Structure 1
Amino acid sequence: MHVVPPPPVARTALSDHPWLRATSGWNHPQVNLEVGGGPMRLGATTYEKGVGVASPSAVDYYLGSRCTGASMTIGIDDAGRGGAGGTATFTILGDGRTLYDSGVIAQAETRDVAVDLTGVDVVSFQVGDAGDGGGNDRTDWADLTVSCSS
């Protein structure tokens, strides 16, 4: 039997909230660390909160239609930069519907992202390999925060 966690309340770092499901193409999803277990760093900025994964991956959270938005910084962690491959795509799905699609993110690129989550029960944060395989695709959903009601 799978018990669904209660939805987050107020402004919450999703890394402090239990996920429904989480997969990573290499190793396993890391809470508040990059997928290899080191500090989460994008472009020499260290982030205390977030989720580190490798492509292909999916991290799903139950929101129970209580949240209005999410914000985060995305990119290839500094630990994955400099090697072959190392491009990724970031997609956010709300109840199976695409809310955000990054297109290809290169190694040195980071993006600040905000999405509307109004009415969403389950949100899925997914990373793909951008067509060049999963080598050096150590990706971060840094400062992954949702705004929700109680």
Structure 2
Amino acid sequence: DAFPAAPVLGRELPADSLLVVNRPAEEPGHALENAFDDDPNTWFRSVRNQAVRTGAHEWVVGFGERKMIDGIEIAPRNDKNWKHGQVRDYEVYLGDSNGEWGEPIARGRLQLKEGVQRIDFPAHAGRLLRFRVLSVQNPEGDGASSTDPMVTAAQGSARAFDALQPRDVGPIALSTFHILEHQEPERPARQQYLSELPVPAALASQVRADQSFRGDAGLRMNGLQFRRGLGVGGNSRIDLRLQGGWNLLRADLGIDDACRTAGGLQFQVWGDGRLLYDSGLVKAPGVVKPELDIRGLSTLSLRTLGAQGSQPAQVCANWANAVLIGQEGDSASIVAP
């Protein structure tokens, strides 16, 4: 007998892989986890007592490992009062360290609607998702007024604002909050050594492909020869433009044997304007081997700086075996400064 077909898995991250890192003010018995559990009869509900207002509702959920995220599914309570406690204006953040968020990756406004709504945004990589609720829906619709008419008459067309008071955000109730993992069709694996990319003429004095920056010999560290890599000086910058879905950057970083007595320096990798990696001071015979997750990035910048030692101006270094790991169709180029 034939076995039944395997169930089709959705894109939502499973509940047992999620950890609530920061919680909103929850009504007892209605924890945020109720929105993850795939049971529409259990809800997350924020505290309904509005005697103490704190502003926007927000929570942070961790994934356990770095993932590519491109959407959220959200649904209100599923009873006759479904219009009440619905999210209206929101912001979404992704990051790798709690509290270090930068700008939101998505912001918008949901409809007053029964059932699931989906928030879509370009795929971003991270370990944590932060969701902020900036306002809730008026159950009677945007055209209706839930404000004291004497107050609205005094305001006219302008909206009152007091920066010293918290944002007035009513309680919310959710039956569903799913975080959606980005999925791409499998393609054959591909790797691209950086030394195989054309070096712009403007960088020729700063970078040497498969060759030590000092002299005409190949790359050598601790007496070991490296066939591939980029030789650089003590203050260099190599900017790359990435296209496609590259996954990893790998390299062996160290001081070339041609200048090993001159001193040491730092290696840095920046991605989309954010510092991803700093080696600290590297001196011979030390070699460091970073493997960096670069999913979702469109630019990389490889830098050396902070040369010090007996002859800092003579320090030279290697991005040996520097390689991008991705899939067929991904491309990269070195950009002229």
TM-score normalised by length of structure 1: 0.82
Give per-residue Cα distances to partners, 1:73-112, cap 9 Å, x unaligned.
00000001123xx110000001111111001111221111
Q: 1:90/1:58 Cα in 2 relative to 1: closer, same or farther (>3 Å)? A: same
Where does residue 58 of structure 1 map in the other structure?
A: 237
How much does 1:65 deviate? 4.7
1:14 lines up with 2:194 in the alignment? yes
How much does 1:22 deviate? 6.9
Instruction: Supply the distance in 2 between the matched residues of 1:124 and 1:65 (Cα, whole angstroms).
Output: 17
Q: 1:104/1:135 Cα in 2 relative to 1: closer, same or farther (>3 Å)? A: same
Instruction: Supply the distance in 2 between the matched residues of 1:21 and 1:59 (Cα, whole angstroms).
Output: 12
Range with greater deviation from structure 2 (96-105 or 9-18): 9-18
Q: What do you get for the CA RMSD once the two structures are aligned?
A: 2.2
- Verify the 8 A CA contact 2:206 2:236 in the aligned structure 1: no
Where does residue 35 of structure 1 map in the other structure?
A: 213
- Verify the 8 A CA contact 1:60 1:124 in the aligned structure 2: yes
Alignment of 1:74-113 (within 5 A): 74-83=253-262, 86-113=263-290
Unaligned 5+ runs, structure 1: 1-8
Instruction: Supply the distance in 2 between the matched residues of 1:21 and 1:140 (Cα, whole angstroms).
Output: 20
Query: Greater Rg, structure 1 or structure 2?
Result: 2
Instruction: Supply the distance in 2 between the matched residues of 1:67 and 1:109 (Cα, whole angstroms).
Output: 28
Range with greater deviation from structure 2 (139-148 or 34-43): 34-43
Q: What is the DSSP-based 3-state SS (H/G/I as helix, E as strand, rest coil) of the residue aligned with 2:258?
A: helix
Instruction: Supply the distance in 2 between the matched residues of 1:48 and 1:99 (Cα, whole angstroms).
Output: 26
Q: What is the DSSP-based 3-state SS (H/G/I as helix, E as strand, rest coil) of the residue aligned with 1:119?
A: coil
Where does residue 126 of structure 1 map in the other structure?
A: 303
Give per-residue Cα distances to partners, 1:42-70, cap 9 Å, x unaligned.
11110011000001101111112521111
- Verify the 8 A CA contact 1:23 1:57 in the aligned structure 2: no
In structure 2, what residue type is equivalent to 1:125? L
How much does 1:121 deviate? 0.8
Where does residue 320 of structure 2 map in the other structure?
A: 142
Taking only the aligned residue pairs, the percentage that are identical comes to: 25
* Bigger relative contact order (CA 8 A; separation at least 6): 1
Q: What is the DSSP-based 3-state SS (H/G/I as helix, E as strand, rest coil) of the residue aligned with 1:147?
A: strand
Instruction: Supply the distance in 2 between the matched residues of 1:135 and 1:33 (Cα, whole angstroms).
Output: 19
Range with greater deviation from structure 2 (12-21 or 58-67): 12-21
Instruction: Supply the distance in 1 between the matched residues of 2:249 and 2:260 (Cα, whole angstroms).
Output: 26
Q: What is the DSSP-based 3-state SS (H/G/I as helix, E as strand, rest coil) of the residue aligned with 2:251?
A: strand
Where does residue 3 of structure 1 map in the other structure?
A: none
Q: How many pairs align?
A: 138
Instruction: Supply the distance in 2 between the matched residues of 1:115 and 1:58 (Cα, whole angstroms).
Output: 18
Unaligned 5+ runs, structure 2: 1-188, 330-337
Q: 1:22/1:48 Cα in 2 relative to 1: closer, same or farther (>3 Å)? A: farther
Instruction: Supply the distance in 1 between the matched residues of 2:200 and 2:246 (Cα, whole angstroms).
Output: 16
1:48 lines up with 2:243 in the alignment? no
TM-score normalised by length of structure 2: 0.38
